[in-house]
Structure 1
Amino acid sequence: MHRQSSLRTRLVRGLGAATAAVALASGLTACGGDAEASGPASDVVTVGGVSNGAAQQTELTVPVVESLRGKLPASVRERGELVIGVGALPAGFPPLAYLGTDQQTLTGAEPDLGRLVAATLGLKPVLKNSTWENLFVGIDSGKVDVAFSNVTVTEERKKKYEFASYRKDNLGFEVLKDNAWNFGGDFRNLAGRTVAVAKGTNQEKILLEWQTKARAEGKDFDIKYFPDSNSTALALSGRKIDINFAPNPSIAYHITQTAGSGTPTRNAGSYSGAGESLQGLIAAAAKKDSGLAEPVAAAIDHLVENGQYGKLLAAWNLPDEAVTASEVNPPGLPLTNS
């Protein structure tokens, strides 16, 4: 993904659940760019709090790991705070980052992981919410230590930032729950289906390439476009399309929203947002040579090993995006695709 790989689509930014996003927009705008101090450093982190049903609320006890705390830059360790940047203004992008039902707390898988990392390192998490553009301004200026905001690793970004990966950057295939179709890793399985995709996005580019290949083999599938995600959801529930091809987190969120409806949906497979040659990765981003990527990666590895990382992703319905370990500055989208 070029900007944000979840509800922010790759070539244009879009929201995966427009209704929820619009409902939350005024609250997030009211929150502005002010810092949200999460209170004194604690070994108990509430995952999925005030999530409006998008997550299973879970309390995790997170002891400080002194050996990892010792890896922090002295300035951050002595300050005792980890300033976490999130680019969720103006409207948020559930389930990754948005204003909770109390209209005060920034919730989502991204800020929750930031809180878990801060707790592991014995730091007080201080969340700063901004626009996507100002997120990077904050890192550049030193006002933000590290971003947990669905940032895809790219070779272009590695010129200015250092990364600690924590989630796969995937696209997903959403179908009605009673539809037995599965992607199975082969575009040929789309033959004979009708697939919705957002225009001008990375997933559209991939889908059009598959359609060309399928037609060369004497197969085909239909591509449909809709003005927004609500229209796409209605087309899927009304069986006017078979599949919605979109960023995986937006699909995960929509699945939670349809679970109690008459037309529940499910995930029928995933595909790397970077294409077939590279598994795209989402990572915590810090200023290059800040010395933060390594301790953050070590903290993520600790959370993976003790199972709390898995509980976080399960709570937010994102287990299929799990990584087995955090990589420092992994291969990113190439310069020609950044």
Structure 2
Amino acid sequence: MKKPALVLLVLTLLAGCGTDAAADAGAAPDGSVSIGAQAKGIGRPAELKVEKQQGIADEVPDAIKSDGKLTIGLGALPTGFPPLAFIGDDDKTPTGAEPDLGRLVAAVLGLKPEFNNDTWDNLFVGIDSGKNEVGFSNITDTEQRKEKYDFASYRQDNLGFAVKEGNSWNFGKDYKNLAGLKVAVGAGTNQEKILVAWQEKLKAEGKTLDIKYFADTPSTFKAIVSGQIDGYFGPNPGIAFQISQTQGTPDAVRNAGVYSGAGESLQGLIAATTKKDNGLIKAIADAINYLIQNGQYKAWLAAYNLDTEAVATSAVNPPGLPKSNT
């Protein structure tokens, strides 16, 4: 995702949050990390056991670890992008999937997480200047960005299909399964381009795909649960947010399949981002891999309904979105 504003619902959750670094209370001295805390019901709270791994901590450059902190950049001002990053119930604590992963990684490294929450553009200014030692903010790995940054992947960059709970239809990674359906999409988006291309393929095969547009997110999901449309094609984290908000209600929806935001030929990846060659990225990747191997990563994804974006391993500078991709 090129900007984290691609969500189903924009909430004004960041009132009172400035750009100054704030010490974080998510990492406890007893070797546990709180995730889903202060999350307004968007994430499921959990306490995860995460102890410092000395071998990985030793990989962190002295210049970064000398103050005992890991400064983490977020690009979530002014409105936040649930379930990934927003301000919690106390109106000051950064919460959501992205800051929580930052807390977990910092715990593996034996460092105290400290957050700099800013606008999307200033997130990168902070990385460039060294104010942010690493960014956890739904940043897509691209070949263009690799000229200035290093990446450690931790989530698939996916689009998803939302359908009413109880609807047995699944995408199955085959556009032909869309034949005869009515599917909503946001106008002017990457997912609209993909859906229109599939519509044209189906038309050439003598089949139909009826694309629908709605004025806002509530109208779209009301149309799903009422049966007016079959589903919605949009950013996967936004669908995860809707799932968290509608579970156990008559308006419940579920995820019926995902598709790479980079298209058919490449799996897009979301990655932790550091200034190029600052020496930190291997330690970040190794910390994420420790979390994957020991179960905390799976619990973190589950807390935010992001299971469909799991990666098998964190890779340093994996293939990214090509420069030709617009």
2:19 alignment partner in structure 1: 33
Secondary structure of residue in 2 paired with 1:336: coil
Specify the code of the residue in structure 1 equivalent to 2:226. Answer: G
Secondary structure of residue in 2 paired with 1:79: coil
Bigger Cα displacement from structure 2, 223-232 vs 109-118:
223-232
Bigger Cα displacement from structure 2, 266-275 vs 235-244:
235-244
Instruction: State how many pairs are aligned.
Output: 324
Deviations, residues 65-94 of structure 1 (Å, cap 9, x unaligned): 010011011111212110000111111111
1:76 alignment partner in structure 2: 64
2:8 to 4, 16, 28: 16
Secondary structure of residue in 1 paired with 2:192: helix
- List aligned pairs for 1:99-138, cutoff 5 A: 99-138=87-126
Give the CA deviation at 1:104: 1.5
Secondary structure of residue in 1 paired with 2:278: coil
2:256 to 268, 283, 298: 268
Quote the sequence identity (%).
Answer: 56
Equivalent-residue separation in structure 2 for 1:238 and 1:158 (angstroms):
45
2:76 alignment partner in structure 1: 88
Q: 2:313 matched to 1:321? A: no
RMSD of Structure 2 on Structure 1 (CA): 1.3
Specify the code of the residue in structure 1 equivalent to 2:246. Answer: T
Equivalent-residue separation in structure 2 for 1:33 and 1:227 (angstroms):
32
Specify the code of the residue in structure 2 equivalent to 1:172. Answer: G
Deviations, residues 99-142 of structure 1 (Å, cap 9, x unaligned): 11121111101000000000100111001111111100110111
Specify the code of the residue in structure 2 equivalent to 1:78. Answer: S
Equivalent-residue separation in structure 1 for 2:2 and 2:204 (angstroms):
29
Do the aligned residues in 2 keep the contact of 1:38 with 1:124 (CA within 8 Å)?
yes
Equivalent-residue separation in structure 1 for 2:133 and 2:8 (angstroms):
28
Q: 2:218 matched to 1:254? A: no
- List aligned pairs for 1:121-200, cutoff 5 A: 121-200=109-188
> What TM-score comes out, normalization by structure 2 length?
0.96
Equivalent-residue separation in structure 1 for 2:127 and 2:215 (angstroms):
34
Give the CA deviation at 1:175: 0.2
1:309 alignment partner in structure 2: 297
Q: 2:53 matched to 1:65? A: yes
Equivalent-residue separation in structure 2 for 1:265 and 1:86 (angstroms):
29
Secondary structure of residue in 1 paired with 2:198: helix
Give the CA deviation at 1:256: 1.2
Secondary structure of residue in 2 paired with 1:233: helix
Deviations, residues 243-294 of structure 1 (Å, cap 9, x unaligned): 1101111101101111132121111011111111000000000100111111
Give the CA deviation at 1:227: 2.1
Equivalent-residue separation in structure 1 for 2:19 and 2:150 (angstroms):
24
> What TM-score comes out, normalization by structure 1 length?
0.93
Task: For structure 2, list consecutive stretches of 5 or more residues without a partner in the other structure.
Answer: none
Secondary structure of residue in 2 paired with 1:290: coil
Equivalent-residue separation in structure 1 for 2:185 and 2:222 (angstroms):
14
1:3 alignment partner in structure 2: 3
Task: For structure 1, list consecutive stretches of 5 or more residues without a partner in the other structure.
Answer: 10-14
Q: 2:222 matched to 1:234? A: yes
Equivalent-residue separation in structure 2 for 1:2 and 1:206 (angstroms):
16
Do the aligned residues in 2 keep the contact of 1:41 with 1:123 (CA within 8 Å)?
no
Specify the code of the residue in structure 1 equivalent to 2:183. Answer: V
Secondary structure of residue in 1 paired with 2:139: strand
Equivalent-residue separation in structure 2 for 1:56 and 1:272 (angstroms):
26
Give the CA deviation at 1:41: 6.7
Do the aligned residues in 2 keep the contact of 1:29 with 1:89 (CA within 8 Å)?
no
Bigger Cα displacement from structure 2, 259-268 vs 272-281:
259-268
Equivalent-residue separation in structure 1 for 2:166 and 2:57 (angstroms):
48
Specify the code of the residue in structure 1 equivalent to 2:8. Answer: G
2:33 alignment partner in structure 1: 45
Secondary structure of residue in 2 paired with 1:271: strand
